[in-house]
Amino acid sequence: MSLTPYFSSSSKVWESRDWIFGLEEIGYVGWEIVADGKYRLDNPENFIAIQENLASTGLRSTVHAPYSDLNLASLNYPIWRESIRQTCCCIRHAADLTDRVTIHPGFLSPVGKLVPEKVWEMQKTALVEIGKHAEDHGVLACVENMISIKDFLCRYPEEILGLTEGIAGIGVTLDIGHANTNGLVDAFLAHVGEVNHLHIHDNHGQSDEHLALGDGTINWEKVGRIVARDYSGPVVIEGRTLEEAGRSLAVFRKWFV
């Protein structure tokens, strides 16, 4: 299998893009653009600058769609429509950069907790529309498994795989760090051959710390062996600094072979 290391930093969405010029020097092949803050793709100035950054570095790219204040499972219809609109807008712009866009599933609001079956219906309906838009633009929109907050959808393998199955234009992003907060790394690894995109970062199993690989409790030797056997494509290492990016890449090169 062929694995290519990308780096992503959601902590830098309000900062300049100067840091990305260090990624190639460290040894990364690609950059996952977190399309929020100063990196939103629907801002023409941002989009042009990002295109220039990619051209000048030679980095490949994937995109993470915005998710702040959005809810693809909302029972508040205007919020639900706006969440779909922003996701589709990101996909439309991202199509000029990549064929993979990660999207977050929705969550249960206080009202939604009273009718969870309706929440799942709204989520699935949203994905059908988003998937159609993604397919029309040559993109796969990959739903990401979520952290251990009970109101989030898609914390378990059977939830995310069942939700996305059979929807054209929709895939799955497996986030190993998120899986660890739910104690489900092994359960998700059993399905790694079925996913379309991969995020990795470390934590101690209690919260989404986004630590460098090796700074938490995840067994990267085991994860790397299974991923290298069953998955091919971009592996996005998520972190905060270039120093963490370098340390994580060393762990990746040791075990993801």
Tell me, what's the pLDDT at 256?
97
Q: What is the pLDDT of residues 76-108, one digit of tens each?
A: 999 999 999 999 999 999 999 999 999 999 999
Tell me, what's the pLDDT at 2?
83
Q: What is the pLDDT of residues 160-187, one digit of tens each?
A: 999 999 999 999 999 999 999 999 999 9
Q: What is the pLDDT of residues 110-160, one digit of tens each?
A: 999 999 999 999 999 999 999 999 999 999 999 999 999 999 999 999 999
Quote the tokens at residue 248.
């994580």
Quote the tokens at residue 117.
């079956």
Instruction: Kindly report the CATH number that applies to the domain delimited by 12-197.
Output: 3.20.20.150
**With 70 as the cut, is the pLDDT of residue 1 above it?**
no
Chain centroid to Cα 91, Å, comes to 13
- Give me the residue spans of the domains in the chain: 12-197
Closest Cα to residue 31, out of 85, 121, 100, 91?
100
Positive or negative, the Cα torsion across 94, 96, 97, 101? positive
Q: Are 71 and 109 in contact (CB under 8 A)?
A: yes
